[in-house]
Amino acid sequence: MDNNQIKELADYVHRAEKEKREITKITADLYPELSIDEGYIIQEELIRQKIAEGHQIIGPKMGITSEAKMKQMDVDDPIYGYVFDNMVVEDGDSISISDYIHPKVEPEIGFILARDLEGPNVTALDVLRATEYVFPAIEIIDSRYENFNFTLPDVIADNTSAAGAVFGTYFRKPDELDLDVVGVTLSINGEIQSLGAGAAVLGNPANSVARLANMLSKKGEKVKAGQPILTGGVTAAVRLSPGDFVQAEYGGLGNVSFFVK
C-alpha cells in the first residue's frame, strides 16, 4: 500500500464519519487484501487528518475485548482506537441521533493512570499499581460501514467504530473494588437490555489496559498518565433510537446516563 492509497482510504472513512453516511467496507472491493498492520496505518492517517482539522485525542479505547466477540471475529488480540474531544458527551446530557449513522452503546469501565505505562510485558498487577482511579463510562459506537459489517482490518481503519464517550464522575481507587465482579446493567427507558460483569473484559479490565500498553509498545508508544482509557464493553452493545433514556448502573461504581433526541 503506497502513501496515496493510505491517504485515500483514510479519507474514505473520514468523510463517511463527517457526513454521517454508511460506506461499504474497504475489504469489499477497494482493497480486499487489507491486513491488520495496514488497518492501523490507515487509522494513524485518519488520526493525523482529525488532528490537522483541530481535534484532540482525549484517550485510547479498547475493542473486541470479550471472548464472545473475539471468537465471532476469529481473533486472539483485542484492538485499539482513540476517543476525540468532539466525541465526549457530558454525563446526564443529550445527544441527537442525527449526529450519528446507526449508533449503539456499551457500558465500559474506565481507567486513569497516575503514571505512564510502557510495554512490553506489562501485567494487570502493574496496571492496578499505576492506576489513579477507575470510573464508569458508556461508549457510543457507530461503525461507518453498512450494517456494522466489517473485517478486523476494516474496523481498525475506522478507529474501532469510536463515535462517543460518556465519562461518569464516580471515581474509585482500584483496590476499593474487585473489578472482575463489578456488575453492570444497561437499561433503556428503565428496562434492562443487557448485563454483565467486569470479567467479561479479558477476565479483568486491568488486563485490557495491560494489553493496550503491550500493543502500543510495538510502535514505541505508551499508555499515558491522566488520559481516560476505555477498556471495552462489559455487555453486548445495544442500538439507540430517538426518545431513549440510556442508563448504565454499576455495582459499587455509580451510574452514567444520557438522553437521545
User: Shortest gap between Cβ of 83 and ligand 0L1 (angstroms)?
Assistant: 10
Nearest to 135 by CA among 175, 105, 171: 171
Residue 168 found at the interface with Mg ion (CB under 5 A): no
User: Shortest gap between Cβ of 140 and Mg ion (angstroms)?
Assistant: 9
Q: Choose the binding region for Mg ion from 76-84, 120-128, 202-210, 226-234 (rule: CB under 5 A).
A: 226-234
The runs of H, that is alpha helices, within the chain are 3-19, 36-52, 67-73, 124-130, 152-157, 205-217
Which residues, 119 to 148, sit near Mg ion by CB under 5 A? Answer: 139
CA 214 centroid distance within chain: 17
User: What are 8's three cell numbers?
Assistant: 485515500
CA 35 centroid distance within chain: 20
Are 215 and 63 spatial neighbours (Cβ–Cβ below 8 Å)? no
Binding mask 115-144 for ligand 0L1 (x = CB under 6 A): ------------------------x-x-x-
Select from ligand 0L1, Mg ion, none the partner in contact with residue 131, using the beta carbon and a kind-dependent cut-off of 5 to 8 Å: none
Sign of CA dihedral 163, 205, 80, 27: negative
Residue 17 found at the interface with ligand 0L1 (CB under 6 A): no
Binding site for Mg ion (CB under 5 A): 139, 233
Binding site for ligand 0L1 (CB under 6 A): 63-64, 139, 141, 143, 148, 155, 160-161, 232-233
